[in-house]
């Protein structure tokens, strides 16, 4: 995900990285060539004058803009819900790490709660990999004992298996008399919150916007853009290619942005910064545990934004 400070209004006109324009240039170029040919032929197609004027395109353009607005709102809702789930993941993992020390009487130098904190960090990274369909092996081996990393690595739903390991840790400290039943219930409530977060992320990742709706809107946008030169050629003349490309850029860019952010857990420029959020969670949990923070170069070897 690209996060920039506010740019000057003039400089924003020329921003390239993070814009959808590079992906749209071939399509806009094709439309520009088509518009030039239509102007050259004076709006005729095989000696037949296409009888179109700007009026129907104005009305149809307004309706199309409304549909694109709904499409973008639906995509942004998915993006923002994903961001809220990962914000809740940060808060809940902090709370659990704090509970592991404050309610059990362990000190930050003790190994038992530090093992619990490593499970929390591993859950964060394994959730990221599950959502992106990438390999968790390197991260699990970095954070967990070899036998546990192998067992979790062979599981299909790794975050849930890590939650199960945390539950086993709580039962162990309960058996040792470190916590009572009330504190155990408190841990279980936090685990339920983490489970809800994992389930919410899985729901977004596995339930895309209905394909038929996307196809309908995609076809409508491109049919509108390719018919537009016939409606403008008589009134605008050689200005038609410029105006058509500008209008097409607006509509096609809206559709491209909606396609990009409807899957918020991917690796495109405007998707959620899961790598950065995983690093933030790892850093804050290690601070709570009193452990040294990982060197940035070491982290970057495992994670590339």
Q: If you search the block for the tokens 């990999």, which residue do you land on?
A: 129
Residue 124 structural domain? 90-207+291-302
DSSP string, 12-31: HTT--TT-SHHHHHHHHHHH
> Would the pTM of this model clear 0.75, i.e. be above it?
yes
% of the chain residues with pLDDT over 90: 53
Question: What sign has the CA pseudo-torsion 248, 250, 253, 259?
Answer: negative
Mean pLDDT calculated for residue range 152-164: 94
% of the chain residues with pLDDT over 70: 90
Q: Would residue 71 count as lying in a domain?
A: no
CB 68 within 8 Å of CB 251? yes
Q: Would residue 279 count as lying in a domain?
A: no
Position 293 scores a pLDDT of 77
Mean pLDDT calculated for residue range 135-163: 93
158 contacts: CB under 8 Å, gap ≥ 6: 126, 127, 129, 130, 136, 140, 152
Q: Would residue 116 count as lying in a domain?
A: yes
Give the pair of three-digit tokens for residue 75.
Answer: 């995509």
User: What is the pLDDT of the chain when averaged over all its residues?
Assistant: 87
Specify which of 8-17, 57-66, 126-135, 218-227 reaches the highest per-range mean pLDDT: 126-135
Position 211 scores a pLDDT of 87
197 contacts: CB under 8 Å, gap ≥ 6: 85, 86, 88, 89, 92
CA 255/CA 220 separation, integer angstroms: 11
CA 140/CA 157 separation, integer angstroms: 14
N- to C-terminal Cα distance for the chain? 8
Q: If you search the block for the tokens 């933030």, which residue do you land on?
A: 280
Q: Would residue 17 count as lying in a domain?
A: no
Number of domains in the chain: 1
Residue 9 has pLDDT above 80, yes or no: no
Closest CA to 190 of 169, 175, 176: 169
Per-residue pLDDT band at 8 (split at 50, 70, 90): low
Length of the chain: 305
194 contacts: CB under 8 Å, gap ≥ 6: 89, 92, 93, 96, 123, 159, 163
CA 186/CA 196 separation, integer angstroms: 16
- Alpha helices (H) along 176-273: 181-206, 211-236, 240-261
Position 260 scores a pLDDT of 86
Q: If you search the block for the tokens 């991917």, which residue do you land on?
A: 266
Residue 1 has pLDDT above 60, yes or no: no
CATH number of the domain bearing residue 124: 1.20.1440
Q: Would residue 189 count as lying in a domain?
A: yes
């Amino acid at each position: 995900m690209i996060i920039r400070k506010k740019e000057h209004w003039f400089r924003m006109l020329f921003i390239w990285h993070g814009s959808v324009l590079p992906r749209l240039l071939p399509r806009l170029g094709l439309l520009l060539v088509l518009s030039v040919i239509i102007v050259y032929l004076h709006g005729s197609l095989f000696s037949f004058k296409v009888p179109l004027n700007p009026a129907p395109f104005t009305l149809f353009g307004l309706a199309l803009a409304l549909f694109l607005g709904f499409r973008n709102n639906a995509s942004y809702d998915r993006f923002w819900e994903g961001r809220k789930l990962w914000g809740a993941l940060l808060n809940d993992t902090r709370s659990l790490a704090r509970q592991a020390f404050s309610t059990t009487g362990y000190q930050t130098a003790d190994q038992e709660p530090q093992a619990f904190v490593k499970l929390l960090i591993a859950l964060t990274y394994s959730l990221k990999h599950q959502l992106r369909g990438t390999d968790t092996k390197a991260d699990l081996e970095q954070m967990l004992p070899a036998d546990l990393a192998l067992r979790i690595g062979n599981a299909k739903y790794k975050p849930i298996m890590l939650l199960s390991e945390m539950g086993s840790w709580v039962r162990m400290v309960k058996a040792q008399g470190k916590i009572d039943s009330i504190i155990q219930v408190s841990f279980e409530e936090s685990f339920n919150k983490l489970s809800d977060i994992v389930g919410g992320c899985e729901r977004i990742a596995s339930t895309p916007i209905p394909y038929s709706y996307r196809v309908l809107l995609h076809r409508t946008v491109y049919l509108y853009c390719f018919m537009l030169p016939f409606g403008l050629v008589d009134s605008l003349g050689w200005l038609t290619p410029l105006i058509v490309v500008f209008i097409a850029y607006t509509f096609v860019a809206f559709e491209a942005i909606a396609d990009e952010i409807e899957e918020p857990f991917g690796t495109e420029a405007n998707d959620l910064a899961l790598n950065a959020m995983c690093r933030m969670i790892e850093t804050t949990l290690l601070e709570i545990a009193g452990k040294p923070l990982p060197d940035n170069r070491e982290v970057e070897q495992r994670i590339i934004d």
